[in-house]
Structure formats: structure tokens, C-alpha cells
Structure 1
């Protein structure tokens, strides 16, 4: 267990070993938990000395996680600004258009009416650790050990061998990218490059390896010199900005003049596609890093938006197009948040405590059935009645997504090298296409060359496996990725560099700041895997403190049922609920008045299976027996003979 000591002044001292000397790192409490919350935290601390949370019975484990989340909120939320004045106020940023009392502003403003700029596009990423622990590295620290060498040793698939995640399907991999495109995007500095030294025998085909540096925000305070802030170009809210855009001007350009508030789609035979510009670029809120997985999910939720518009127009015939659009967006965004919470998360973290805990995040421990019948049984308790409607709360730190949150969502190993496509009705194999041939302007290749429908592509994603989130599982095409802006990148190298550049602590310090036990040896880190331990020791010059957070997370043993490490999971359980709890439109005004009776019912009674079946009826029969749409679907007879060969099994 971690060596921690709670202090009466609201700080925690974390013992830090450094050259056999002890240093005390003070983690300041951002708020004071209630008496009962403190009792719960202390009780589970004591229990976890003997039994870790994941070995407890399901409901007890879920309660353990609920109190762990309270402690994480208390010590691991930190503002990236020296002053909360950066969030604005009702004087500096007045709400001039009352429309946005009941609608999302595409810039992200006015979610919190007292801090109007909080979470909006252009605001800084926050931190899960104190800023003094996240300082900008020196040039030597940035390149030590060489990030390209780390990519070659621990990212590249050995002999091209793909390691599948057999409890998930490819739809789960596409979904998380679809969501992260809503949440975060750093700005690059076109005037500054990070140049990575290459060894003489490096197989990189370019003359050199470099990528644009992350552009720091202006220096607003002396503390910004040692720990620069970095802007999030996307809104940090769960507001569907990947579809609707992260500014009002973009949203207006994307919207059609449809009087029913719908998004434009181009018909091509029986299918509807997102519109393109003259250069073939898709017109949507966020079109970077585009491939067929983004093509189908963006289109699906554009279709869902339009279906919601139809339902609202039927029930509210006198409404303007803006009124219909605003409420349809609210409903669509809340539905995506719900799907992520109660479907995607339990698929990738398939542990009994998580199944219970994530359902409780939305419905509370009283459950879905009773909540639908009786509403909230507790006005404010998120444990009893769920986070939606429990009241928005910032826990002492203005809401933002964090640099560490971005770090733990580096999941490029989910991507396979190829995708086998099948016909949804017969199950017959249609074609197998390298993923790289479905990227950027080539994202419609499966439709154009094989005559596939959206239903066919979704069925194919449902039966293909993604990659496991572990060492040596980055696909080759992502380690030699040619992007439309002319860059050529090894995303393995880029992922390591980005964490270092932005001051994300390395693995041991990362765990220490989360009050997790810190391995003293490489063999302890790997759970006894001597071969991997030796490889890590060699790469990191026998200095375990240098192991990068991403590499360490990929190397540690995973909890049974988990798709990623417990180290990453600690950030996940903190920030996943924070995206809900901070939001006025989810934790706050969660009712029929805000969403309309039609819209509120739509969210509460829909899931991913309903969304797919609503727009592609031919998938309904296949999905009948599916308990989770992000787990492998049942194969049709025509597909089974390809299992283990074409579906990356």
C-alpha cells in the first residue's frame, strides 16, 4: 500500500524516496469532505491494507470505489491558472442571449453562469497533480531515454504480431476516439519543432524525425514559466463538439437552413453521408485523424440528431428551427454521455464492481427501474440516485480536463492493421482492407470499392477485435503515419514525447501522487515478468524513476477484466464522473423542463442498441442477444469460417 499520512490541515504527505533521502510532497485538499465521507474514506483505507478493492464482493467494491473517488476529488484536482479570475464572471462575460440558459453554447461558455469561461474552448487543461510536480523538462530530460528507442522497443508489434482484445469489438475502439475528439485537442506551434535523434541503424524512412511542439499559452503568472499552461482547442464539456463544433461560428456553418433544426446529410442511394467540401474533407465539428470508424459514428449521431428533431417537431409544432436544434443537441449529447457511462465503460472495464459502479453513476444504487418509476429518491446523493440531477459541483477546482487525463487515453494499440468487412444480412465476407486505406479522404473506401452499406460496416466492426492496450501493440501504419498537413509521424514516439513535453510525471511519480504503491524494482513493476523487466531496465538505464507513465502502465499487471492498467484507471474514475458532475446540463438541470418531456424520455429509454436499430433495422436481429454493443457480436453463419483469420481474432 502507498505510504500516506492524512494531516488535520487538509493536506496529505506522500513519502518520496530520492537517493535514500525522504522528501515530503504536500497535496493540498481542494475541499473538505463531509463527516460521513471522511469515515467512509478512512474505513476503506483500513480495509484495503488487507484486501484491495477489486477482490471485494461487487457491491462492497463499488462502494470502495465511490469513496476512493471522493479522496481523488479532494487531492487530485488542480487549476492550471494561478487565479480563478481566468474563468470569467457575470460582469466580464455577461450572458446577453438568454437562449443559452436552456441550450449549450458551442464555445462552451455559460455552462457555469458564475464562471462563464470555465470549460470553454481556448481555456487551459488542468492538472491532476500540483503544478510544481508537473514542470517543463529540460532538453536532456525530454530526450532521455530516447523516445524513438522506447517506441521501437515497447510500441512496435514484434514481427507484426497483433495482440487482440477478445472481450471487445472494433466499435469500442472507434467509440473512444469519437469521444476524445469531443473532449480535447492541443494546439501545435508551427514555429517550433521537437527533433528526435536517430540511431545509425534506425529504419525510419525520412531523413530526420521531428514533430511540432505543443504551443504553450501566454505567460500570465511567474509560475507559468516553470509549468506552462496549454490550451484545449475543444470544449471540455460533454457537448458533442466533434459533431457540432467548438465555436458558435462553426456550428452555424455546419447547420443547414432546415426549419426543423436538422443537420445536413447527402443522400447516395439508400445511404446518407456527411457532406464534403471541394477537397473531399468531411464537414463536421472535428475532422482530424479521420478514418472509416469516425465516418460511421459521426454519421450515426448526425442521423440520431435528425431523428430527435423529428420527434420534437411532432410534439412541439410551433417551435422555431433554433429551438428544435438546441434541444435535439442537448438530448443527443446526454445520450452519448449515458452510452459511454453505462455501456462502453463496463465493456472495457469488465469487473463486477465497475458494472455496478458505472450503472450507479447514472442511475444510483437504487437502479434504473426504480429511478424511471419514482425519479430521484435522494435530491443530492449521487450514490443513491446517480450523478444526473444531483447538483453540479466543482469540488474546489474550476472544471477542466487535465493533461493526465489526455495521457491515460493514449490508446493507439486498440487499432488493428486491417479490417475484414462482411455483409450484415448474410454474414458473407466482402473484402479486407488495410486501415490506412480508410484514413482521411479515403474513409469511404469500404462503401465505394466493396459496395458496403453503413449496416455492413457496423456489423463488421461488431465482430472484429481491436488490439489489447499493452506493450508492443501499436500498428505499423500509426508508426509511419502520413497526415494531410504533410507531417510523417511515429505515434509511439509522439505519445512519449507529448507526455514528457507537457510535464506529465513519469510512472513512479505518477503513482506516488495518486497514493498508489510505487515499485522499487523493474520485476516488481512487471508483476514478476523477468524478460520484460530486463528489457525495461536496459532501456531505462536501470533507473526505474525514468520509466514513462505510458510504458509503465502498459507493463504493469492488469486487474482481472480490465482493458487497461489500474494506474490509468485512477485518473479515469476521477475524471469520468467529473465530466458529468461539473455539468449544469447533466448534474444540474436534469429534468423535463430543460430537456422537454419528449427529449428526457428519449435519453432515459435509449442505448446504443436502440440507436443502431433505429437507423439500420437490418441490425436488430443480430443485436437481439447482445448484452453490450461494445462486446463482440454474435457472428452470422457466413462469417464464422473467417473467425480467427480475417477478424483479427
Structure 2
């Protein structure tokens, strides 16, 4: 494939720079790099014409990525609104209680005190490309080629063959869906698509697939007719809303009625379970698309919240923990801050380096949190630089919006379509003896069946986490969607193919196709299908046939799955460009993480702040499951999202029908 240098921009002869956006493309002042930042961007752009960033020595590659991120901030942040008025102001939306200066509001308001609506529930998704490139598609564009045909050709596991990602474990697969539940959920319309089956396509139980459309936001500006905005039902902040809910009303319902600031859990002896409502739904902040992996992680971090509450109560006996009519519960507020920040840290310094196992990323993601001075020095001396995120990390560097109000973007949603990670079956083992217990289809552990194996004591939560630790997820590549997700009966009475859904959602919401996607990230654009696939002529021929010979029609998801992958990467560099921008933006925009005054013991308490800084995923698992602590200690410095060391009895298991790691 052609060089993926940021300098190589447009296959049709454009230069490596973008024209200055007009008012209808960018509604707020664009981020302007400093002189030194521009020098760094230009220097690495020249270097990358000869050597791409991923072939540089790790430390230099990490600096290359830091300047690439700055360049992306300059050109690839766009608000979903035509006017800044949508973000609100402090006079029209005043603080309802001084509590929220030092605590998160469940619907996401008041993270910015100047723009109180920014990032809150019900606000629009933004874009990483100008709005004129993310217009509502015509009917012909929406259905060309037929999305079910694309799913049949490029999503389905051929002959049921599972392609494992052998550098990861199933905990990594469950983790990312757990985090996605915190970040985004589009508002659904009452209108439906009727997705027709392609001629000669795979058999389907119905003549068409029904799918609720995404509901456009109200028209606020004439530009919204051509480029509609879509609202997020979740908060866009990294605030644990999947556990706590995206409204104060839901949060109150999830809390125990006893004093102490805890979340409600069902206790059966020494075992904790997520409670259920009368319809069998988990009582947690967000429970769509439920399966056992989410059951495990939602339960674990509800337990972690309660453990933080106990630690705070023990350290600060005068801190209130009672439920008041208008809750101003200090213990709960501090525990939520700590738990949310800990999840953000785990994702930054553990999950990301596991799925993007490249030396530059190992250095860069650690630097995102600790800065280049490193963890030990930061813990010892605090921030060396007050404002430099490169020297001392993003937390505490000062919250910034980089020229566009904070939101998650439609393109960010798109690159996190990772259904390939899910296997069709999971082999479960004892966490104490290592013996194989049973191999269960994932389809049998979804929705209201997710908790059944645990409730029936078929295996315990420690057994489940150990099993996830030694099982491989699927590779994020073509032809690796699990069969059950391509014929999935859902609680609303529909049957869906999530491969088709993924393709259709991107088109519906204005996500550009693959070549345009890369072009406006200033990446090289393939001129031929062979160039796209890195010389894989068989795949190139299949793409050419499916897309009628027009490479510009290739969907962003299919193109990303088809391009050669950087060594160590779990997904494409095209997706990574969005990731490197937005992953740090979620930290940098949040005043409870990046804020000079808020990222402190004064906000989190001394006990809470140290809890975040001193804990990782191994600590969380070991805190609640002592039998796992022993296993994880034996693994030494191995990443918890990489395959765990097996117990001897597990090593004997040779079940070829599962994805248990060898």
C-alpha cells in the first residue's frame, strides 16, 4: 500500500494542506498550533515522506504521534451545530447546586461552567470532517451497494472459521463495549428502514430486515436540512454513565437506600449480582446489547464503587453518606469521580497499549497520563510542568476544547465498530483448579440470559474473569463477525444482522466512505483495489466486484478492515487517526480530569486521588477476587488485557471448537 504518511494527502492531486474552512464548514474558531508546534508538525511531515511514524524508534515515533495529534486538532474537529448558542451559558443555565462545582452531574451538564450544555445528554454528535462532507445521503447513496450484500461478502465468518486475535484476551473485547456504553447511544426514530435482501444473498427468515432509523435533531439552522445532526442519549464525558446513568433520576434509582453512598447490588452470601427489574433488565446505567461480558464488568465496577465508598467513609468519618431528598451525598460524589477516573486511566494506559501493541504507543499512551517524565517522578513530585501535556500528561494540564465545543463524533462511533472481537463460543474454566467447566455459545448468554450461568452457580465471577483472561477474542478484520450477531433476535422483536446495521448506520449518519475518509485525514488514498489491500489480489477482486469497480464507494468500515495493518496493531491506521485525536480529547476536554484545580486531592480527596493513581485493572480484580490476585501476580508485568498465564489443568484442554488460547 502507498505510504500512510500524513504528508501524502490527496490521490487526485491536492497538496498536503487543507484550505481554510468557510463558515458553513466550521462554526467556531479552529485550533491554532503555536509556532513551535507548527515547526514540529512540518518537520515530522517531511520525515514521514521517507519514514512513516511506525518505523521510527519508539521514543521518536511517540513524539511524531504527539505532533500528528496537534495537526489533527487543527483540521479535524467540527461541531454538530451551526451556532455556539446550543452549548448554553452560565446565565441561562446556572448551577442548580454548588455541589456540581466539585461533582459530576449525571446528565453531563456543568462539566464546563461557561458552556454548561457541552457534552451533556441530548446534545448532538460532532464530526471530524467539515459538515459539507457529512451530508444526508440520497436514497441511491444509502443503498449502493446493498448493505446486506456487503455484510454477506465481507462480514460473515466463512465456513464458520474464527480468526483469533492472539495478542489479546476476551477481557479486552468485553472492556471496549463496556466503555462504549458510557460514551454514546443515538436517539432512535419511530420510522423504520426496510432493508431488502440482495439477489442471491444468504438466506434470511424474512423478506427484508426492519431497522429503526436514527432520529435527526430538530432543525436549528438551514444547514441542518442538508446536514442533519443526531443526538446522543448518553453523556459524552468519561463519567461512568454506563454504571451511574445519564440522568439524576436514574442515578437516584440505582443507589442503595441505606446510608454510605453505595450502589444497589443483590448479595447472595458473599456473592454480589446486579439487581434486575420486573422485566429482567439489569439495574445499571445502560443495559442495551447485554451479554455476559457486560454483566461481569458492570458488576465489577459497581463493586469497585462500593469499595471506594467504604475507604472514604473509613478515612473521613465526618463525610456525609445519607440519601437526601435532593442528594448532595459527598461519599457518593467522590466515589463516582474516583471510579470514573480509574476507568479512564485503565483504558488509556492498559487497554489501548494492549490492542495497539507498538513501542510508540506504549510510550505515547503512558505519556498521555503521566507525561514523558513518567509515572514514578509524577507520583513523587507532582506535575513538573503546569500546562504541558507532553511533559506531565493530560490530567491536570488544563481543560481545553481546541477550537470546537466538546462532543464525541460520528466518525469516532464508526471506528469503534468492533463486533469482530466477539467469538461464537466461550470455554469456561475454574479459577482455582483450572479445569474446563463448560463451553457455551455466546448467543445463550445474551440479554436476560446473561446472568443465568452465574445465578445457577455453573461458574463464579472469578471463574468467568479467568476464562476471559485465557480466551482469545476475534481479530478486527474482514469475514470475522460472529454468526449469531448476523442473525440476532433482539428484545424489541426484531431480527438483525449487525454487519448490515454497521454499514447502514455509517451511511445514514453521513460518515464519509473510505477514500474520502482518508483524504480528509491527509492520508494517502489508494487508486486501485490492489493498492488498498496491500497486494491481496483475491480480496481486491472481491471488493471490485461488490463495489462495481468504483473504489470511491468502498465503505469506511470495509476499507479499514481490508487495508494492511501496522505490526502490533489490532485495527487499521485509518481508524487509528480518529482514535489518536479523540482518545486524548476525552481527557483534555474534561475539567474533572484535565482541570488545573479539579485534578487534585482537593476534589478527589487524598484517599480518592491515590486510589486512582495507584490502581490498575489488576488491582481492581484482585481487590474483589483474591483467587485472581494470585494468578495475576504470577504474570508479573504482563498486560491484563493480553492472554493470561494458564493453570496446568487449563493447559490440558484441547477443545478445538472454542477459542481458548493455546
In which range does the TM-score fall when normalised by the shorter chain? over 0.9
- Deviation per CA, 1:403-454: give whole Å up to 9, x if none: 0000000000000000100010000000111001000100013224552111
CA distance in 2, matches of 1:67, 1:360: 13
CA distance in 2, matches of 1:23, 1:334: 38
Q: Secondary structure at the match of 1:293?
A: helix
Q: Secondary structure at the match of 1:624?
A: helix
Corresponding residue for residue 10 of structure 1: none
Residue pairs, 1:305-316, within 5 angstroms: 305-316=305-316
CA distance in 1, matches of 2:128, 2:497: 27
CA distance in 2, matches of 1:474, 1:107: 34
C-alpha contact 2:5 2:52 (8 A) present in aligned 1 = no
Establish whether residue 547 from structure 1 lines up as the match of residue 554 from structure 2.
yes
Corresponding residue for residue 88 of structure 1: 88
Corresponding residue for residue 594 of structure 1: 603
CA distance in 2, matches of 1:164, 1:578: 31
CA distance in 1, matches of 2:660, 2:228: 42
CA distance in 1, matches of 2:516, 2:169: 33
Establish whether residue 620 from structure 1 lines up as the match of residue 629 from structure 2.
yes
CA distance in 2, matches of 1:193, 1:146: 13
TM-score, normalisation: structure 1: 0.96
Q: Secondary structure at the match of 2:19?
A: strand
Post-superposition offset of 1:200: 5.1
Post-superposition offset of 1:197: 4.0
Post-superposition offset of 1:196: 2.9
Corresponding residue for residue 26 of structure 1: 19
Establish whether residue 268 from structure 1 lines up as the match of residue 279 from structure 2.
no
C-alpha contact 1:431 1:450 (8 A) present in aligned 2 = no
Corresponding residue for residue 476 of structure 2: 469
**Residues paired across the two proteins, number:** 640
User: Which residue of 552, 567, 570 corresponds with 2:574?
Assistant: 567
CA distance in 2, matches of 1:499, 1:113: 33
User: Which residue of 607, 619, 642 corresponds with 1:610?
Assistant: 619
Corresponding residue for residue 122 of structure 1: 122
Establish whether residue 326 from structure 1 lines up as the match of residue 340 from structure 2.
no
Establish whether residue 190 from structure 1 lines up as the match of residue 190 from structure 2.
yes
Change in CA separation of 1:609 and 1:3 when aligned onto 2, cut-off 3 Å: closer
Corresponding residue for residue 494 of structure 1: 501
C-alpha contact 2:5 2:49 (8 A) present in aligned 1 = no
Q: Secondary structure at the match of 2:141?
A: helix
Establish whether residue 630 from structure 1 lines up as the match of residue 641 from structure 2.
yes
Post-superposition offset of 1:320: 1.3
Change in CA separation of 1:155 and 1:333 when aligned onto 2, cut-off 3 Å: same
Establish whether residue 532 from structure 1 lines up as the match of residue 543 from structure 2.
no
CA distance in 2, matches of 1:620, 1:643: 26
Post-superposition offset of 1:643: 4.8
CA distance in 1, matches of 2:71, 2:208: 46
User: Which residue of 522, 547, 551 corresponds with 1:515?
Assistant: 522
Higher mean Cα deviation, 190-199 or 418-427?
A: 190-199
Structure 2: unaligned runs, 5 residues or longer: 22-28, 322-328
C-alpha contact 1:162 1:648 (8 A) present in aligned 2 = no
C-alpha contact 2:9 2:525 (8 A) present in aligned 1 = no
Establish whether residue 156 from structure 1 lines up as the match of residue 149 from structure 2.
no
C-alpha contact 1:32 1:74 (8 A) present in aligned 2 = yes
CA distance in 2, matches of 1:510, 1:183: 22
Corresponding residue for residue 442 of structure 1: 449
Higher mean Cα deviation, 559-568 or 255-264?
A: 255-264
Structure 1: unaligned runs, 5 residues or longer: 6-12
User: Which residue of 627, 639, 644 corresponds with 2:650?
Assistant: 639
CA distance in 2, matches of 1:198, 1:34: 52
C-alpha contact 1:124 1:400 (8 A) present in aligned 2 = yes
Question: Alignment RMSD, CA only?
Answer: 1.7
Change in CA separation of 1:282 and 1:606 when aligned onto 2, cut-off 3 Å: same
Post-superposition offset of 1:24: 9.9
Residue pairs, 1:163-242, within 5 angstroms: 163-199=163-199, 202-242=202-242
Corresponding residue for residue 60 of structure 1: 60
Change in CA separation of 1:387 and 1:25 when aligned onto 2, cut-off 3 Å: closer
Establish whether residue 287 from structure 1 lines up as the match of residue 294 from structure 2.
no
CA distance in 2, matches of 1:22, 1:262: 57
CA distance in 2, matches of 1:285, 1:76: 31
Post-superposition offset of 1:609: 0.1
C-alpha contact 2:5 2:48 (8 A) present in aligned 1 = no
CA distance in 1, matches of 2:52, 2:9: 20
Post-superposition offset of 1:188: 1.3
CA distance in 1, matches of 2:429, 2:436: 4
Change in CA separation of 1:430 and 1:318 when aligned onto 2, cut-off 3 Å: same
C-alpha contact 1:142 1:500 (8 A) present in aligned 2 = yes
Q: Secondary structure at the match of 2:228?
A: coil
Higher mean Cα deviation, 578-587 or 318-327?
A: 318-327
Change in CA separation of 1:201 and 1:328 when aligned onto 2, cut-off 3 Å: closer
- Deviation per CA, 1:199-227: give whole Å up to 9, x if none: 25540112321211111001110110111
C-alpha contact 2:136 2:226 (8 A) present in aligned 1 = yes
- Deviation per CA, 1:528-582: give whole Å up to 9, x if none: 0000000000000110000000000000000000000000000000000000000
Post-superposition offset of 1:270: 2.7
CA distance in 1, matches of 2:442, 2:6: 46
